[in-house]
Amino acid sequence: MAAADVTGPRGRFISIEGGEGAGKSTQIALLAGALERAGIAVQATREPGGSPGAEAIRELLLEGEGERWDATAEALLLVAARYDHVTRVIAPALAQGVWVVSDRFADSTMAYQGYGRGVALTDLAALHSFALGEFSPDLTVILDLPVETGLARAAARSAADRFERLDYAFHERLRHGFQRIAADNPARCVLIDASGDPQTVHRTVLDAIGHRLGIAVASHPDLGRVTHARTEGKP
């Protein structure tokens, strides 16, 4: 991928990852608000989606029966959506000094289609390299919680989509995949226990950003009223 023209300090790219019901949307909203209050320009986005072309692919991926697409087809669609998202939205924002916080990125493809659905990890890495080269987040926050907790949260908020309807064993493999990704990429990833209340998780996320990116960001004084939000990003 060709680098965008940078006219000032580059923004930072943070991805928030995790399985179903992990609370990604809640944490992204809290993080975006905290960054804005700190005077940092921020753009929240999601995957698949975030650009018109990627949003069209999102509809293809999330609707219909669980076996509508096999894992290879999913991976190809996801990378096509990601390429459009990065080139049209993420890279231009970073070049303008805007911080980007994304609900999912390439690690979700590794976890869902790789660890969860059995596509070779080397093939997924090669596909990402072909589309985006070495482009990756500056920091990836992986929200981790037991499968039964996540699925219960997901079931309570809305009707299940085709990924949420996959069997329990898939979701166990998915959790293991995210844990493995965090262990294999310690310089980029931080694994955070997401089983607590949103306020506690948010403060842990801010601590990680301060430690990893050198930016001190305060939480909101009215944080105690926060509840879990609907997760928007999907693998």
> Tens digit of pLDDT for each residue in 163-185?
666 778 999 999 999 999 999 99
Q: Alpha helices, DSSP H only, in 17-146? A: 24-37, 52-62, 71-85, 91-95, 106-109, 121-132
Scan for tokens 């607590």, then name that residue: 196
Residue 224 contacts residue 199 (beta carbons within 8 Å): yes
pTM: 0.87
The domains of the chain are located at: 13-218
> Tens digit of pLDDT for each residue in 118-166?
999 999 999 999 999 999 999 999 999 999 988 888 777 765 556 666 7
* Rg for the chain, CA atoms, rounded: 17
The CATH class given to the 13-218 domain equals alpha beta
DSSP element (H, E) containing 144: strand 139-144
